[in-house]
Amino acid sequence: MTPVSARVRGLIAEMTDAEKLGQLQIVFRPRLEDAAQLIRDGIGSVFWPRSAAATNEFQRVAVEETRLGIPVLVGLDVVHGQRTIAPVPLAQAATFDPALVEELAALAAAEARSGGVKWTFSPMVDISRDPRWGRVVEGFGEDVHLTSTMARAMISGYHGSSLRSPRAIAATAKHFVAYGQPEGGRDYNTVDASEHRLRNVHLEPFRVAVAAGAASVMASFNTVAGRPMHANHGLLTAVLKHEWGFDGVVVGDAEGVRNLIPHGIAEDLADAAAQAYEAGLDVEMGGAPSEVREALLARVDRTRLDDAVARVLTLKERLGLFDQPYVDEAAEITAPTDEALRLTRRAAVRSAVLLKNDDALLPLADHRRILLTGPYATSTDHLGAWSQPFGAPAGSIADEFASRRPDAEVSVVAGVDFLEDDDTGIAAAVEAARDSDIVVLLVGEPSALSGEAASRSDLRLPGRQEDLVRAIARTGVPFVVVIETGRPLIVSDWIDLAPSVIVAWHGGTEAAGAIVDVLLGDADPSGRLPMTWPRSVGQIPVYYAHERTGRPATTGGTLTTTTEDIGLHGPDNVQEKYTSKYLDLELGPQFPFGHGSGYATFSHGSPRLSARRIARDESVTLSVDVTNTSTRTGDDVVQVYVEDVVASIAPPVRRLVAFERVTVEAGATERVSFRIGDEQLGFRLADGRLVVEPGTFMLHVGSSLDRTQPVAVTVERA
Ligand code: BGC
């Protein structure tokens, strides 16, 4: 059992079995009128009842009307803001700015806790490499280092310096584990991952989150190698609790225990719950155990149950709940402050990715006649998946734009809807375009198309939006495109027609203002893609850090009409033919991970190392001079990728190991330095140990995967 305080030990000694099992449940979104009775019956945790006053009433029932007076733990999915809605987590990852992510989490925590929330089910640290999966929006994308860095930042922001603080909430790293690799991108689907991939990809951000002090970890809905995670002793207990020493709470996902029956590993609810607690689950979400109390108690080891109870009570204690169960209702924050709005606006701006700006149409010049078209011109659907229904709403881009350019003739013609198969409005948009000096196309995927249970098989702009883009392109009037989305989209059918394209994601309460800031050049869109943008759905999964193959391709496919042309029999291109690629696609993705530029331009000096050869356990300093070669201040994101030249296990082609977002004034040079040591050069063995193999490592340094300079470091044999 984990070490516990005298108070927790004393309580456990006094508790009945029923009281213990009550502590091991969070009721999944009960009706308000049912919740008080559930608390009276001994339920340990509930979802937030949406106000400080209602939360205090719950606490009063728990403290005054239960035998032991144990306060209730109040949880909620505070995912990207409570009242002030920040950009979706995938967008936060695109900022490559962990300090900013920490500030956003601290803001969300302060707003949430003021209303009585003590426990959030965030951050999602699942590595997601399949954009068909809708939940990619909730995490930090495809990369292990970026995800781990943002996870650490978010946990630190939620927790602050102490969980007792009236501005802190307990973080949950979810969904443990490998939930981001479901077959076919279908939510809740099967995962089969090797030990190597688990250790080096999926487990790693959780390991970092646990080391950063995550208060809880949520089990995932999927199986791993046939064993559903809610009953996976090897991962929940052997790895998470024993190997990593995690002493917090393992919470189940909604109905995840009940789901063990359809998964086909449990006969009934008692069997499911027993397997889950035995495997290491501490809190069940969805209310099964009281239904099956007797059968469960007959099966589960009592020491295990006491350990689970101890973990829950210890979290309550760490949050200061026993000393102060109530919140100050007068201090509840119910609307964003100006400072909160400024912070989230900054985040939305910093998450915007300039995909291309061929004719330097952006930022917009002083055009007189401007057309705003596309469904996002007037829509206020900017908050994104998992935004709170009580969060501060966003305004529309049309309203914001018109107020910022009162000198211009701004016309607004939506042209098409997000989803409807109706192109009759396109003619009006085309007509308006012909009377304009520039067109701003505001397209994308509405919030409801990403998030949980929102997998898609077609990742193009939905509805008739592509037709609108093509129709505007045909007018010959200059145009720029802003894409709002919660996932990478397939844009290959039209992207070459569009000279300037920005990805704005779902930016939250301040999205409209931020997008106009970026369009007008009042701010720089210098985010970077946290996920690869594929050329086609058939290419998925496509991610940069893939394992090296024995037959890497150097060109794309050349599918034509005859078998000779595709090289089946012809001798000329046999070498190219038998490589890992698609016959009918160009090589590589549409846009790689880390891609994006800004309005400023940069050049890098040659990367320098403090030593060319090091022993294991030693590290080197890598530095590079970044010069702003433009006439405006801007941000560059310096990225360092490692290529392990020869290893005992086929290494990834490249792997991000460090990055820094740096602001450089026009004409100025800043030096950026990184420490490169075991953590950066090593990989994990199946038993979790980090190993650094001797040999040469290429460090590729640059502003984007496709614009890097190499420098070699050698790890010597001991
Ligand atoms: C989701 C979790 C979430 C929980 C509670 C589930 O359906 O998978 O991520 O925390 O609901 O809302």
Name the closest-CA residue to atom 12, ligand 1. 77
CA-wise closest residue to 89 among 155, 44, 41: 155
Name beta bridge partners: 370: 410, 438
Q: Could you give the CA distance from residue 376 to residue 386 in angstroms, rounded to a whole number?
A: 19
> Any idea which residue has 């006491």 for tokens?
306
Nearest Cα residue to 502 out of 475, 476, 529: 529
Q: Phi, psi at residue 157, to the nearest 5°?
A: -65, -40
CB-based contact 164:318 (threshold 8 Å): yes
Q: How far is the CA of 28 from the centre of ligand 1 (A)?
A: 9
Closest alpha carbon to 348 in 661, 91, 84: 91
Q: How close is the Cα of 454 to the center of ligand 1, in Å?
A: 13
Kindly report the CATH class assigned to 338-520: alpha beta
The DSSP code for 137 is G
Cβ < 6 Å from ligand 1: which residues? 77, 121, 174, 253-254, 452
Q: Which numbered atom of ligand 1 lies nearest the CA of 174?
A: 9
Strands (E), 191-253: 216-219, 223-224, 227-228, 249-251
CA distance 560 to 154: 50
8 Å CB contact between 659 and 639: yes
Residue nearest (by alpha carbon) to ligand 1 atom 5: 254
Helix 98-114, helix 144-159: angle, nearest 10: 40
Q: What is the pLDDT of residue 569?
A: 46
SS3 of 34, please?
Answer: helix
| Residue located nearest, by CA, to atom 10 of ligand 1 | 121
- CA of 121, closest atom in ligand 1: 10
Cα 47 to middle of ligand 1, angstroms: 11
Which of 74, 75, 58 minimizes the C-alpha distance to 66?
58
Q: Which of helix, strand or coil describes residue 552?
A: strand
Q: Pick from 625, 604, 622: which is nearest to 699 by CA?
A: 622
User: Measured from the CA of 172, which atom of ligand 1 is nearest?
Assistant: 10
pLDDT tens per residue, range 139-149: 999 999 999 99
Q: What is the pLDDT of residue 111?
A: 98
State which CATH number among 3.40.47.10, 2.60.40.10, 2.40.33.10, 1.20.120.430 fits the domain covering 602-716.
2.60.40.10
What pLDDT was estimated at residue 101?
A: 99
Tokens of 663: 């602001």
User: For tokens 């070699």, what's the residue?
Assistant: 712
- Residue 560: Cβ-neighbour burial (10 angstroms; 0-12, 13-18, 19+): exposed
Residue among 45, 119, 452, 455 whose CB has most ligand 1 atoms within 8 A, to mutate: 452
Report d(CA 16, CA 28) in Å as an integer: 23
| Helix or strand run (H / E) with residue 57 | helix 52-65
Q: Which of 377, 375, 371 is nearest to 409 (CA)?
A: 371
Q: Ligand 1: which residue has its CA nearest to atom 2?
A: 253
What tokens does 116 get? 């009585």
Counting from 1 in the atom list of ligand 1, the atom nearest the Cα of 175 is 9
Nearest CA to ligand 1 atom 8: 253
The whole-angstrom separation of Cα 543 and Cα 700 is: 17
Structural domain boundaries in the chain: 75-308, 338-520, 551-588, 602-716
Q: Which residues are catalytic?
A: 253
Q: Tell me the best of 25, 77, 216 to mutate to test the pocket of ligand 1, counting ligand atoms within 8 Å of each CB and taking the most.
A: 77
Question: Per the structure block, which two tokens stand in for 341?
Answer: 């709005």
Which regions in the chain score pLDDT beneath 50?
Answer: 561, 565-571
If one residue of 27, 76, 121 were mutated to test the ligand 1 pocket, choosing by the most ligand atoms within 8 A of its CB, it would be 121
Convert the pLDDT of each residue in 466-501 to its tens digit: 999 999 999 999 999 999 999 999 999 999 999 999
CATH fit for domain 75-308, picks 2.60.40.10, 3.20.20.300, 3.90.950.10, 1.10.3470.10: 3.20.20.300
Residue of 253, 257, 283, 284 with the most ligand 1 atoms within 8 Å of its CB, for mutation: 253
Q: Say which DSSP state 115 is in.
A: T
- Ligand 1 centroid to Cα of residue 424, in Å, is 40
What was the pLDDT predicted at 559? 65
Instruction: Pick the closest to residue 92 from 392, 347, 341 (CA basis).
Output: 347
How many whole angstroms separate alpha carbon 442 and alpha carbon 426? 14
Helix (H) / strand (E) containing 107: helix 98-114
- Tell me the two tokens of residue 487: 């996932």
The CA–CA distances, whole Å, from 120 to 47, 73, 214, 278, 362 equal 10, 11, 11, 25, 39
Distance between Cα 393 and ligand 1 center (Å): 23
Give the model's pLDDT for residue 461: 98
- The Å distance, Cα 250 to ligand 1 centre, comes to 14
Answer yes or no: are the C-beta atoms of 513 and 519 closer than 8 Å.
no
Separation between Cα atoms, residue 76 and residue 251, nearest integer Å: 13
Structure tokens of 509?
């309460």
CA 89 to chain centre: 4
- Which amino acid would we find at residue 622? L
Residue 560: per-residue pLDDT: 53
Which atom of ligand 1 is closest in space to residue 221's alpha carbon?
Answer: 8
Structure tokens at 71: 């306060």
Tokens of 109: 């925590």
Instruction: Find the 178 Cα to ligand 1 centroid distance in Å.
Output: 15
